Chains A and B, each alone.
Chain A
Amino acid sequence: MDVKHLIARRAAQELRDGDVVNLGIGIPTLVADYVPPGIDVFLHTENGLLGVGPAPAEGEADPDLVNAGKLPITETIGSAYFSSAESFAMIRGKHIDVAFLGALQVDGRGRIANWSVPGQTILGVGGAMDLLVGARRIIVTMIHTARDGSTKIVPELTLPITADRSADMIITDLATFAVEPEGLRLVDVAAGVSVDEVRAKTGVPFIVDGGLKIRDA
């Protein structure tokens, strides 16, 4: 299994029965494939649907039915459609239990940059800022390091910040961190990954305590 799917599988362990969940583009979209058995969640998409179902079979895509990434989806039984204004009222109004977001950088307080690509003119923000201020729980899913090997967990964001609100949890291919008032706390490490390796690839100090687990999924 490639690392993106491993991250998504770990992230899905955070879901609780009955959660209303918004999935961002990229790794977050994959979380839907790993919802644990016995748990029912309702997927919300910013463009106006509560009750997102799996991708349609080949040749059965409906041109009027897409997700936030403009990819074809299906509707589940019991789903509802609404306008963009109502969709974002749900988001800002704290009616979304958990949002999974990608990030380009996260700082030691869990604040994130995920809307502006390095070196490119800023011409898009989409729903990133609304989701970050409005979802009850924010879980960042990302690959721990950038393509050049540098860490994405940094002392100071060098890319434009998405919101003044922090994420609650950061899940990478190497480790999971909880964002706490005193900083990041290491929750688990992936199988075969040492705390020293996580430390070497993380740009900020973090708390390691007796609760540290080895990731089983």
Chain B
Amino acid sequence: MKQKITTKESAIAQVQSGMVLMVGGFGLVGCPLSLVDELYRQGQRDLTIISNNVGEPGRGLSKLLEAGRIRKVIGSYFTSNPKVGERYLAGELEVQLMPQGTFAEAIRAGGAGIGGFYTRASAGTLLEEGKETRVIDGELYVFERPLVADVALIRAHRADRLGNLVYRKTARNFNPVMATAARLVIAEVDEIVEPGALDPEAVVTPHLYVDYIVQTG
């Protein structure tokens, strides 16, 4: 059987320049910082990043951004990192902004084989522009396409050797849906345990979604 536990070096070596990456986290909370730092060290570029935010200046994904290695970002809130605005205004970064709930649901749809969905969020606003709309039961809805990625970098609290994951507090955020929506899923975890040590009723991400497990640090 395939051994999922590996090092951050070999896991991140599977990311190639030009790929689309999902990266978990709400700000830096629940962001797989060891994997992101290793990606920064290895030098892949021309990346499309699907993540709610892009780190903070000098930390997390912002290091890749500041090094000019991110081509496009897709997420809901980039205002908290002024480096995003600087790059965007300089014409060096493409930004796709989505309501946060639409962003989460598009990833869920991508991982669940759903070809898109209609939501009330953004109807009648600037973010609706260019999108298909439809009136359902008298209210305006906006059609949103699913999001998928080549690789997802996620953060969990504990994994068993099979790849079952449990999360910790609000560090869960986008990680469980991102685990479902990429061809290759790399999970950074605080602790790796034997199968049977996690309560099956408490497992949030079943192991079939997870390709590699990396101990944080």
Contacts and interface: CB of A to CB of B under 8 A. Distances in A.
Interface in A50-73: 62-66, 70
Interface stretch (B15-23, B34-42, B78-86): B78-86
A161 interface: yes
Contacts of A66: 26-27, 29, 170
Interface residues of B, number: 47
B121 interface: yes
B49 to A, nearest CB: 14
A124 B76 contact: yes
A81 B29 contact: no
Interface string B73-110: 00011111000110011000001011111101101100
Contact of A49 (B104, B127, B170): B170
Given A64-B168, A163-B125, A122 B97 contact: yes
A168 interface: no
Contact of A83 (B89, B104, B124): B104
Interface in B159-173: 167-173
A79 to B, nearest CB: 10
Q: Is the interface of A mostly helix, strand, loop or mixed?
A: loop
A81 B100 contact: no
B170 A126 contact: no
A148 B85 CA distance: 26
The residue in A130, A162, A163, A164 that gathers the most chain B C-beta atoms within 10 A of its C-beta is A130
Contacts of A62: 169
B123 A133 contact: yes
Contact of B173 (A48, A122, A163): A48
B100 A126 contact: yes
Interface in A95-144: 116, 120-130, 133-134
Interface in B102-136: 102, 104-105, 107-108, 119-127
A177 interface: no
Nearest to B26: A47
B48 interface: no
Contact of B89 (A87, A121, A165): A121
Contacts of B104: 83-85, 87-88
A46 interface: yes
Contacts of B89: 121
A161 B125 contact: yes
A160 interface: yes
Contacts of A121: 85, 88-89
Given A121-B88, A126-B77, A127-B99, A47 B170 contact: yes
Interface of A: 45-49, 62-66, 70, 75, 81-85, 87-89, 91-92, 116, 120-130, 133-134, 160-165
22 contacts: A47-B26, A66-B170, A83-B173, A83-B176, A84-B26, A84-B52, A84-B104, A84-B173, A84-B174, A88-B100, A91-B101, A121-B85, A121-B89, A123-B79, A123-B97, A124-B97, A125-B77, A125-B97, A130-B100, A133-B123, A160-B125, A164-B125
